[in-house]
Structure 1
Amino acid sequence: MQKNLSMFVRRLTHVCSLKPYKETKWLMPNGNPIGVYVYNCVAGQRVPVILNDPHIATWYSCGPTVYDSAHIGHASCYVKLDIVQRILTSFFNIKLVTAMGITDIDDKIIKKAKETNSDFRTVAKQYEHEFWLDLSSLNIEKPLIITRVSDHMNTIESFVQKLVDSEMAYIAGDGSVYFDTDKFPAYGKLEKQQETVESNSTDKRNAMDFAVWKGEKPGEPSWQASWGKGRPGWHIECSAMVSKVFGSQIDFHAGGIDLRFPHHENEEAQSCAFHGTRQWANYWIHVGHLQMKGDTKMSKSLKNTISIPKLLESFSADTFRMACLTSHYRYSIEYSDKVMKTAEDNLKKFKFFLKDAFNYVNDNTKTIGYYNDKLLHELQTAEESILEALKHDFDTAKCVTTLLSLVSSANKLMKTDSSEYYPVPITLIAEFVTSILQKFGLKLHESSEEAVSDSLIDTLVEFRHTVRLNALSRKDKELLNACDIVRDKMKSIKVQINDSNKTPSWVFTK
C-alpha cells in the first residue's frame, strides 16, 4: 500500500511540474535539393528533400520483431516502402544505401521460446528466415545492410554508456538504465506527447523516461554491461545500430505510423543526445496501416490477421502491389475483396492493353503507318504529370489514374474501325506504361510454368476466335454458347480471354 501511494505521489508531482512543450522546428539540411518534396511530421508539412551528395542517400527501415509469422498488414508497409525506395532510385537517380534492423531478442521472443520449449535464438532465426521468404514472394528488394540486435551488443552497450556518462541517462536500482527526458527539452518533436507511462517502475525519475537497458530478470537471456547484467531496451537498438552504420545523421528513417510514438520519438531523442546534434533523422517516412473493415487495425492481438502465403493463394504479388500503389503511402488501406478486385481489374487493364498493343503493332494486314499528334501529346502530358506526382510526396495513386487514362485513349484508337494505322504512338505508350509499372516493382510477366503453355493457349484462343466470328456471322446460338463455355472453362484455370472483333487477347489471372 505504501509503495503504491509513493508511486502515485511521484507521478502526480511529475504531472504537475510538466513544462509546456517547447516547439521544435524541422531543420533544413545543408546540401543539394533533388526536386522532391516529402511530408515531415516535425514540420507538419511537405519539405524539400536535400541531400549532402545529390546522388547518394541513406535509408533505415525498422524491421520485424521475429517472434511470429508476418501478416499482410506488415506486408503492405514493406511493399509501400519498397515502392518509395524504387521511385528514388529509378526516377530520381539516387543511389540508396538501405539498412534494416531485426529485433531478435525481445519479451515476445522469450515468451514464444518458453511456450515452444525452444531456445530464443532458434525462434528468432526461424521467423527471420520466413520473413525474408515472404518479402521475396512479394518482390520486395532486400536491404543492402541487415543489422541484428544480438550481433551489436557491444555497440549498444557503448551507446548506453555514453548517455550515462553525459548524464542524459541514469542507472536505476534494479540495474535498468533510463533516458532522462527532463534533460532533453525537445522531447515530443515528432508527436507532441506530454506523458507516457512505459512501466510501473518506481526507479524512474519521471513517467516519460524510457528504458534504454533492462535489468536482468531470472531465467531470461542477459548480457554483461559495465553497470550490470541485462538486455537492451527496444528503442536504443535502432539508434545504436543506425549510428554504427550511418554515423551522426541519416537521410531517411522509415516505418509504420504506429512507430512514430514512442519508438521513433525515443530514437530521435537519444540519438540527438548521443551525437550532440539538434536533428538526427532528416526525413521520417511513416506508412499508414492496413485496416480491416470498420477501421480496425490488423494485428495478432486482435486475431484478425491474414498470412502472406494465404494472401498469395487468392491474389498475385502484382495485385497486392497494385492495391498499395492506388493508395498514398501515408494513408491507410481498408483490406477487402472489393479493394483487391479493383486492384486486380486495374492490373488486367494494363496487361490486356500491352497484349492488344503488341497484336496491333504486328498486324500484317496493315500497309502504312501514321503518327497521331493528339495521342503523342497525351503521352507527353502523362509523362510530365507522373513525374510531378512523384515529386510531391510520391503520389503513386495519381500516377495509376494517369496511366489508366492514357491506356483508355490508346485503346479507343486501336479499336476504332478505321483504315488508319498508328504503330508509333501505340508502341511508345506501351513502352512507357511497361517502364513505369516495372519501376514501381510490378513484374508483369508470368511464371516459367505458365510461359511454357503460352503457345498452346495462343492456339486455342485463336481457334476459338475464328469459330466465334463464324458463329456471329451465321447467328449460330449453339456455337456461340459453346464458345462461351470454352471462355468460362479457361477462366476457371486462371486464363481470362478478352474478345475483340479484330484480334483476341488473354492474360493469366490469380
Structure 2
Amino acid sequence: MIKNFTVFKRKLSHVCNLKPYKDTKWLMPNGNPTGLFVYNCVADQKVPVILSDPHIATWYSCGPTVYDSAHIGHASCYVKLDIVQRILKSFFNIKLVTAMGVTDIDDKIIKRGKETNTNFKSIAQQYEYEFWLDMANLNVEKPSIIARVSDHILSIEQFIKKIIDSDMAYVTPDGSVYFNTAKFPSYGKLQKMQDCGEPLSVLKRNKMDFALWKGPKPGEPSWPVSWGEGRPGWHIECSAMVSKLFGSQLDFHAGGVDLQFPHHENEEAQSCAFHNTLQWANYWIHVGHLSVKGDSKMSKSLKNTISIPELLDKYSADTFRMACLMSNYRYPMEYSDQMMQTAEETLKKFKFFLKDVYVYVNNNALQNGVYKDKLLDDLQNVEYQNLKFLKSDFDTASCINNLLSLMSNTNNIIKEKNGEYYPVPIILIADYVTTVLMKFGVTLKENTEDSVSNSIIDTLVDFRHTVRLNALTRKDKELLNACDIVRDKMKMIEVQINDSNKTASWVFTK
C-alpha cells in the first residue's frame, strides 16, 4: 500500500503525461496501482488501473436484448471482452466479480411477441437460452452474476424515486419519468458532445433529457410504482442493477462502442446523480464494431448478419478467437473469409509447432540433450515483452506476433539436419506458448468427429514420411507423386500434413 497516495498521483500524472482534470473530467481513483494501463474514453487516453484492493475488481457488461438470435457482431464483442477478463484474471491475478445485464423487457421484445402472438416473457426466455448456448460454443465464460431486468423492478423503482426526490428527474403527465440533463453539468463527458439526443417532445424539458421510466401503454406489460405505473427505460436498468450488486463505485464497465452514447453516457449521469458522486464507473471498456465489407457495422437493420451457428459450421471457435486476438479490441474488425483464413493459418502454425516439438523431443536421436542459453534468453525476453504488451491496454496482437517469432526461431533449430538436441529449452518454449494461448481462451482442441482415429492418422503419416524420404533419396518422381496424392486426400478429410526432412506432423484443419 502506498502511504502518500496524493504524492504518488502527482508523480504518476507526470510520468503518464495525463491531461489535467479540467480537460479530461476523469478522476484517478484512490487505491492500489496494478501496473496496467487501459484506454478511457473520458480521459481520451490510456490511464492507470487503480483498484481499492489490488487483487479484486468489479466488472459489468451490458448483455443482450433478447428479442432475436445473436450474430457474429455480438460474438466478436463478447469474445473480446472474454479475452480481456481472462487477461486480468490469468496474467495479473485479479479476482474479477463479473455481472452481465440481460434486457428481457424492451420495445423490440414486446413487438416480437405481438408479431408472433407470444407472451413477451417466452420470447425473452427463448432467445436468452439461445444466447448462452452460443456463448458456450464460443468458449466465452459465463459471468458470476446474470442480472435480468424483470427480476429487479423494485430496485429500479427505488433508484428512480431517489433521483426524482433529489430534483434531478421529473414525472410527466403520461406517467413517464425523464432525467433532467440541464441539472447535470458533466453530461456529455463520455462522448465529448452536448447537442445530441432524441427530438424535443412536449413531455421533455430539454432535448438531451432521456427516459428513466416509460408510462403505460394499452396492451403492453407494466408494473405499479409510487408515481403511477409503466415499465423501465433502457438506461436505468443497468444503473439500478449494478448499484444493487456493487454499490456506488464500479471498476470496469464494458460493452460495444455503439453503447458509449447514449447508453453509457446516460448510465454515468443517472448513477452519479443517484450516488451523489462525480464518477461512477472508473474504467470504460468499449469494443470496436465488427463490419462486413462496405458496411459500417454488422446489424440486423442492415440485413448483413451472420449467425453464430453459421460461423461455427464453417470455422472453429478457436479460429474466430484467434481473429479477435490478432486485432485490437478497441478498433473495428472487418469480417471476411480472407480474415478468417489468416486466423486459421495462424492457429495451424501453433498446432504444427506443438506437434513438431512432441515429435522432436520423442525422436530416436542418439545424442544427449543439452541446454541452449540463446533459446532460454529468447523465451525470457518474449515473456517480458508480452507482459509489457498486455499491461498496455491488453495488446494481444503484439503478443501473438511475438509468439510466432519465437516459434519460427525455435523451428529453425528443430529442423536443423545435424543440429544438437535441446529438449529442455524447447519443451519450456512449447509450454509457454500453450499456456499463453489457453489463458487467452484458445482451447487447442481438435474440432472434428471421432470417426477418424488419431492413432491411425499417426501411423499413416509416419509411413508416408518414411516412403517420401526414401523417394527423395532415390529421386523417385512416381513415388513422390503418390505421396502428394496421399497428402491431398488427407486434406480433403480435414487433415493437413506438414513435411520436413526430420519428421512429419499433422493437424486437423477445422
With the shorter chain as reference, the TM-score category is over 0.9
CA shift, 1:447, in A, is 4.9
Q: Specify the alignment match of 2:460 in structure 1.
A: 460
CA shift, 1:331, in A, is 0.7
Q: Could you tell me whether the CA contact under 8 Å between 1:59 and 1:99 is conserved in 2?
A: yes
Partner Cα distance (1:470, 1:44) in 2: 63
Partner Cα distance (2:493, 2:452) in 1: 15
Aligned residue type for 2:265: E
Partner Cα distance (2:366, 2:110) in 1: 70
Q: Could you tell me whether the CA contact under 8 Å between 2:417 and 2:501 is conserved in 1?
A: no
Q: Specify the alignment match of 1:379 in structure 2.
A: 379
CA shift, 1:296, in A, is 2.3
1:290 aligns to 2:283 (yes or no): no
Deviations 1:240-290 (A, max 9, x none): 000000000100000000000000000000000000000000000000011
1:88-487 residue pairs with structure 2 within 5 A? 88-199=88-199, 201-447=201-447, 449-450=449-450, 453-487=453-487
Q: Specify the alignment match of 1:61 in structure 2.
A: 61
Scaled by the length of structure 1, the TM-score of the pair is 0.94
Q: Specify the alignment match of 2:25 in structure 1.
A: 25
CA shift, 1:295, in A, is 4.8
Q: Specify the alignment match of 2:6 in structure 1.
A: none
Aligned residue type for 1:47: V
CA shift, 1:452, in A, is 7.0
Secondary structure, in 3 states, of the residue corresponding to 1:297? coil
Partner Cα distance (2:382, 2:450) in 1: 32
381-390 or 484-493: bigger deviation: 484-493
Q: Could you tell me whether the CA contact under 8 Å between 1:23 and 1:189 is conserved in 2?
A: no
Aligned residue type for 1:32: N
CA shift, 1:366, in A, is 3.1
Judged with a 3 Å threshold, the aligned counterparts in structure 2 of structure 1 residues 419 and 394 are, in CA distance, closer, same or farther, namely closer
CA shift, 1:367, in A, is 2.5
Aligned residue type for 1:384: Y
Secondary structure, in 3 states, of the residue corresponding to 1:262? helix
Partner Cα distance (1:295, 1:392) in 2: 30
Partner Cα distance (1:366, 1:48) in 2: 53
Q: Specify the alignment match of 1:491 in structure 2.
A: 491
Aligned residue type for 1:370: V
Q: Could you tell me whether the CA contact under 8 Å between 2:496 and 2:508 is conserved in 1?
A: yes
Aligned residue type for 1:116: T
Secondary structure, in 3 states, of the residue corresponding to 2:235? helix
Aligned residue type for 1:453: S
Partner Cα distance (1:385, 1:52) in 2: 27
Q: Could you tell me whether the CA contact under 8 Å between 2:316 and 2:447 is conserved in 1?
A: no
Judged with a 3 Å threshold, the aligned counterparts in structure 2 of structure 1 residues 36 and 493 are, in CA distance, closer, same or farther, namely same
CA shift, 1:492, in A, is 1.1
Scaled by the length of structure 2, the TM-score of the pair is 0.94
Deviations 1:162-202 (A, max 9, x none): 11111110001111100000110010111122122325531
Deviations 1:51-74 (A, max 9, x none): 001110000000000000000000
Structure 1: segments with no counterpart, 5+ residues:
1-21
1:502 aligns to 2:502 (yes or no): yes
Judged with a 3 Å threshold, the aligned counterparts in structure 2 of structure 1 residues 35 and 197 are, in CA distance, closer, same or farther, namely closer
Secondary structure, in 3 states, of the residue corresponding to 1:113? helix
Secondary structure, in 3 states, of the residue corresponding to 2:192? coil
CA shift, 1:152, in A, is 0.5
Deviations 1:412-432 (A, max 9, x none): 011111241111111110000
CA shift, 1:449, in A, is 4.4
Q: Could you tell me whether the CA contact under 8 Å between 1:87 and 1:439 is conserved in 2?
A: yes
Partner Cα distance (1:342, 1:203) in 2: 53
CA shift, 1:480, in A, is 1.8
How many residues end up aligned between the 2 structures? 489
Partner Cα distance (1:53, 1:70) in 2: 36
Partner Cα distance (1:116, 1:450) in 2: 40
Partner Cα distance (2:23, 2:411) in 1: 54
Partner Cα distance (1:412, 1:109) in 2: 57
Q: Could you tell me whether the CA contact under 8 Å between 1:105 and 1:149 is conserved in 2?
A: yes
395-404 or 365-374: bigger deviation: 365-374
Partner Cα distance (1:366, 1:344) in 2: 36
Q: Could you tell me whether the CA contact under 8 Å between 2:367 and 2:420 is conserved in 1?
A: no
Q: Could you tell me whether the CA contact under 8 Å between 1:326 and 1:400 is conserved in 2?
A: yes
Secondary structure, in 3 states, of the residue corresponding to 2:413? helix
Deviations 1:94-116 (A, max 9, x none): 00000000000101101111111
Partner Cα distance (2:366, 2:357) in 1: 14
Q: Could you tell me whether the CA contact under 8 Å between 1:36 and 1:48 is conserved in 2?
A: yes
Partner Cα distance (1:366, 1:445) in 2: 33
Q: Could you tell me whether the CA contact under 8 Å between 1:110 and 1:120 is conserved in 2?
A: yes
Deviations 1:89-140 (A, max 9, x none): 0000000000000000101101111111111000000000000000000000
Judged with a 3 Å threshold, the aligned counterparts in structure 2 of structure 1 residues 158 and 199 are, in CA distance, closer, same or farther, namely farther
Q: Specify the alignment match of 1:18 in structure 2.
A: none
Q: Could you tell me whether the CA contact under 8 Å between 1:295 and 1:334 is conserved in 2?
A: no
CA shift, 1:363, in A, is 1.2
